[in-house]
Amino acid sequence: TYFVDFPLMDAKQPTYINLVRDPIDRRVSAYYFIRFGRHGNDFAPILKLRRTEEERAQTFDYCVVNNLRECGINDVNHMMLTQYFCGQESICEKPSQAAVEVAKENIRRHYAVVGVLEEFSSFLKVLEIVMPQYFRGALATWQEIESKQAAIQQTRNKIPPTKETKEIMRQRMYLDYQVYDFIKER
């Protein structure tokens, strides 16, 4: 679900926390996940039913360069991060600088912590300080299980995109990168 401004519904605003991922990394991972699943799961055979073998064999680079539906210019996922933090307002439905500004303001006003996956240990350290009643010892626990989790959380058959593909996607996802960069700078 997207950000909800609870006081608009006469309800108490919760303390929000969130963790985001680099928008292109998230898209690449999702692209291959829906084709192959991840290590450590047993539903990969079900995923095969959703696409032909030819479609499953298409790389993310191929998808982007050929402007296929999943990676094309009009793909709604190009502003998923922006929409998530922007919320339920009508301004959040379409790509715009105004939606980015609402998303940033919501982060400023309503989120105690927003971390980035690429700095997960730092995120846990901050949570231990900001919300110790819930996260005391979280970093130590993560350090104990990290190596086991990393192995089973990897998306199968993921092929890293080329620099050219990343640049094309960064241009297509420019709104999300404004929000992502804002989060990283906080």
The alpha carbon of 135 is separated from its chain's Cα centroid by a whole number of angstroms, namely 22
Assess contact for 95 and 78: CB atoms under 8 A: yes
Confidence of residue 1 (pLDDT cuts 50, 70, 90): low
Mean pLDDT across the stretch 127-135?
Answer: 96
Of 4-8, 36-40, 92-96, give the lowest mean pLDDT range. Answer: 36-40
The alpha carbon of 44 is separated from its chain's Cα centroid by a whole number of angstroms, namely 21
Q: Quick one: pLDDT at residue 157?
A: 85
- Structure-block tokens of residue 158: 């993921």
Residues of the chain by 3-state class (helix, strand, coil), percent to 5: 65, 5, 30
Of 53-57, 101-105, 136-140, give the lowest mean pLDDT range. Answer: 53-57
| pLDDT (tens digit per residue) in 100-114 | 999 999 999 999 999
